[in-house]
Amino acid sequence: MSAMDGALLQVRGLRKWFGGLQAVDGVDLSVRPGEARAIIGPNGAGKTTLFNLISGHLRPNAGQVLFQGRDITGRPPHAIVHAGIGRAFQITSIFSRLSVFESVQMALLAKQKRTMSFFRPRARLVVDQTTAILEAVGLGEQAKMPAGAISHGDQRALELAISLAANPTLLMLDEPTAGMSPWETGRTMEMIRRIAREQGITLLFCEHDMEVVFGTADRITVMHQGRVLAEGTTNEIRQNTAVQEVYLGSDEQ
């Protein structure tokens, strides 16, 4: 536990309870820079709660979250974004009445702390950066469309684009392929891997689709009933009997 040896994200003894329910019950987690880490576990294992605790949406009852050695436990979401952690949501969370372009443009301006500017027209700011991000996720054509009017798959891509605009060191993805067809899933994961590699982004994602998990992750953390049941490389997890019992066995056969 003492190891600070180059971990980008270090979670120590994190706990969160809702009434009598121990949603996250003493989780330790250490993510190295450049890693792609998947968190898996049956429904109710505490994955989303863990994400909410790390990204500042919820405050933990106990434990610590260190990012690049700095204590960010219980900081508000906007502070954690500025620290370098981006987040994409499981349920698409976008700005429906803004255009696709404006959505990403505002995310860029917010991250660059340029939104406290009151009299300068924003229309011509960060246009090139916005266009580059939209093209990277394949939304170049839809730039002028209202975000609420594009297809579900495109909204997932926009969700990713908004998160990328924050230029994160660590990107947290909560079920990035939820509700996607197999074809869209493959395309989306391909894109995420490519962008992460190009920009040196560390990935932390939870996912139900085992093909996605084993195809993308370097290491896997398995959660069960609010605790870490196992952690290891994809091969180690595949061969772990405890994991097979609680999770893979029942789900995959």
Q: Smallest distance from the beta carbon of 210 to another protein, in angstroms?
A: 28
Q: Smallest distance from the beta carbon of 149 to another protein, in angstroms?
A: 7
Q: Which residue type, as a one-letter code, is found at position 161?
A: A
DSSP element (H, E) containing 221 = strand 219-224
Q: Which two tokens stand for residue 72?
A: 């960010």
- 93 forms part of the interface with another protein (CB under 8 A): yes
115 vs 151, which CB is nearer to another protein? 115
**Interacting residue with another protein among 77, 179, 182, 249 (CB under 8 A):** 77
Helix (H, G, I), strand (E, B) or coil at 162: helix
List C-alpha distances in Å: 54 to 15, 26, 86, 113, 239.
Answer: 11, 13, 11, 22, 29
- 151 forms part of the interface with another protein (CB under 8 A): no
105 vs 177, which CB is nearer to another protein? 105
Q: Smallest distance from the beta carbon of 214 to another protein, in angstroms?
A: 28
**Interacting residue with another protein among 3, 43, 123, 183 (CB under 8 A):** 123
Q: Smallest distance from the beta carbon of 130 to another protein, in angstroms?
A: 12
- 66 forms part of the interface with another protein (CB under 8 A): no
Segment interacting with another protein, rule: CB under 8 A, options 38-46, 62-70, 105-113, 191-199: 105-113
- 31 forms part of the interface with another protein (CB under 8 A): no
- 131 forms part of the interface with another protein (CB under 8 A): no
Query: Rounded to whole angstroms, how far apart are CA atoms 249 and 164?
Result: 35
Task: Specify which residues 102 forms β-bridges with.
Answer: none
Neighbours of 151 (CB within 10 A): 11
Segment interacting with another protein, rule: CB under 8 A, options 18-26, 32-40, 96-104, 207-215: 96-104
Q: Which residue type, as a one-letter code, is found at position 158?
A: L
Segment interacting with another protein, rule: CB under 8 A, options 6-14, 37-45, 91-99, 186-194: 91-99
Query: Rounded to whole angstroms, how far apart are CA atoms 199 and 82?
Result: 17
Q: Which two tokens stand for residue 32?
A: 């190295």
Whether the Cβ atoms of residue 158 and residue 146 lie closer than 8 Å to each other: no
Task: Specify which residues 170 forms β-bridges with.
Answer: 85, 202
Burial (CB count within 10 angstroms: exposed 0-12, middle 13-18, buried 19+), residue 130: buried
State the residues that interact with another protein by CB under 8 A: 55, 57, 76-78, 81-82, 87, 89, 93-99, 102, 105-107, 109-111, 113-123, 125, 146, 148-149, 162, 165-166
